């Protein structure tokens, strides 16, 4: 699995963005859709949401839970020890399944990228 983190211009300002090779129907990058789904909240609020996702992964890894959901505005990750199913809240058939290890690595990478962007933004601003 491959994931790329980069800055994309949004309304004249740089914004953290990502793309992966986890394609779904119509070549929609479902993992990126989930990671980028901020629910309309500011970037700083997104970090606590990413931390919650990582916390849910740990609870599954530690056998505190057999299964958990990580839900955002439009996208969901069903997390189990064997796999993670990423899908749309509007159409559960619009889905992909990836390994828990890959999902954890990508979620942590995205969180670290967002945090480093925020720290850089504060440093420059």
pLDDT tens-place string over residues 64-97: 999 999 999 999 999 999 999 999 999 888 899 9
Per-chain mean pLDDT for the chain: 90
pTM for the complete prediction? 0.89
Q: Return the structure tokens found at 35.
A: 């990671």
pLDDT 10s digits, 30-54: 999 999 998 888 888 899 999 999 9
Percent of the chain whose predicted confidence (pLDDT) is above 70: 94
The answer to whether residues 2 and 21 touch, using CB atoms and an 8 Å cutoff, is yes
For residue 125, pLDDT over 50 is answered with no
Q: Give 63's DSSP letter.
A: T
Q: Return the structure tokens found at 21.
A: 């090779």
Query: If you search the block for the tokens 């959901």, which residue do you land on?
Result: 69
Closest CA to 72 of 96, 88, 51: 88
């Amino acid at each position: 699995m491959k994931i790329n983190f980069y800055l994309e211009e949004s309304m004249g300002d740089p914004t953290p963005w990502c793309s992966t090779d986890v394609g779904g129907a119509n070549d929609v990058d479902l993992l990126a859709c989930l990671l980028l789904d901020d629910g309309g909240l500011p970037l700083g609020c997104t970090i606590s949401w990413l931390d919650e996702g990582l916390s849910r992964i740990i609870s599954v890894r530690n056998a505190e839970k057999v299964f958990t959901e990580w839900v955002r505005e439009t996208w969901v990750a069903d997390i189990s020890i064997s796999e993670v199913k990423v899908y749309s809240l509007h159409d559960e058939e619009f889905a992909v399944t990836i390994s828990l290890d890959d999902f954890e690595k990508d979620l942590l990478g995205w969180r670290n990228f967002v945090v480093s962007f925020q720290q850089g933004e504060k440093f420059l601003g």
